């Protein structure tokens, strides 16, 4: 297992559209294991392969308090979305220390392959529903700040660039 580097907004690579995984083989299982380790280390509830500069449709998540229920989604598709929408506060490991409100479907049903390559379906609500939609956006090259106003996004970009310059100097 290995800790992977998480790309930071506004890195243009975060806007790459991920390709479907052709087969859940040893390479994908290694990626999944490294992503899980990276997500737990960063204390995130989810991580998309896009964030670690791998542009294939792979997501890991764990929305449990105990951090003991890893979920792997390979080639995920939303098969149902509730008409009901819900606004909640989101954050992102690629946009550290920025939190803002985003409107998403309140409930979704996702179909994906697990680490074993078997297809399964999962109904999500609450944080899990938010997380699945947030991660599937990453696979499409979309970061949650793109739902915010241009003004907010520009401020976030400036703040992130300033922060990475400061980190480089340190
Ligand atoms: O750790 C994370 N927390 C979070 C909180 C509210 C809504 C979405 C998220 S996902 C985020 C991890 C991450 O950046 N995944 O892409
Ligand atoms: Ni994110």
CA–CA dist 9, 112 (Å, integer):
27
The three-state secondary structure class of 144 is helix
CB of 137 within 6 A of ligand 1: the answer is no
At 46 the pLDDT is 98
Q: Is 22 a catalytic residue?
A: no
pLDDT tens profile 114-151: 999 999 999 999 999 999 999 999 999 999 999 999 99
At 107 the pLDDT is 98
| Closest-approaching ligand to the CA atom of 59 | 1
| pLDDT beyond 90 at 166 | yes
As a whole number, the mean pLDDT across the chain is 97
pLDDT range class, residue 157, cuts 50, 70, 90: very high
At 44 the pLDDT is 98
| pLDDT beyond 90 at 170 | no
CB of 104 within 6 A of ligand 1: the answer is no
Give me the phi and psi of 118, to 5 degrees please: -85, 140
The answer, yes or no, to whether the previous bond of 16 is cis (omega within 30 of 0) is: no
pLDDT tens profile 24-39: 999 999 999 999 999 9
CB of 138 within 6 A of ligand 1: the answer is yes
Residues 43, 84, 123, 135: which is the catalytic one? 135
At 1 the pLDDT is 84
Alpha-carbon torsion, ordered 146, 149, 151, 155, to 10 deg: -40
In this prediction, what percent of the chain has a pLDDT beyond 70? 100
Q: Are 59 and 48 in contact (CB under 8 A)?
A: yes
Residue 111, Cα to own-chain centre: how many angstroms? 16
CA–CA dist 46, 123 (Å, integer):
16
DSSP 7-39: P-TT-GGGGPPPBPPS---HHHHHHHHHHHHHH
């Amino acid at each position: 297992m290995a800790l992977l580097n998480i790309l930071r907004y506004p890195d243009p690579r975060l806007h790459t559209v991920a390709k479907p995984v052709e087969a859940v083989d040893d390479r994908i299982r290694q990626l999944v294991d490294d992503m899980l380790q990276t997500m737990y280390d960063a204390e995130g509830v989810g991580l998309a392969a896009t964030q670690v500069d791998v542009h294939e449709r792979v997501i890991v998540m764990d929305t449990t308090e105990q951090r003991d229920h890893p979920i792997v989604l390979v080639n995920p598709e939303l098969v149902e979305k509730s008409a009901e929408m819900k606004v909640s506060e989101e954050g992102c490991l690629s946009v550290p220390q920025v939190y803002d409100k985003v409107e998403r479907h309140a409930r979704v049903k996702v179909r994906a392959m697990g680490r074993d390559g078997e297809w399964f379906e999962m109904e999500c609500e609450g944080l899990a529903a938010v997380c699945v939609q947030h991660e599937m956006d990453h696979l499409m090259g979309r970061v949650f700040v793109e739902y915010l106003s241009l003004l907010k996004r520009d401020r976030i970009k400036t703040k992130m660039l300033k922060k990475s310059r400061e980190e480089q100097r340190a």
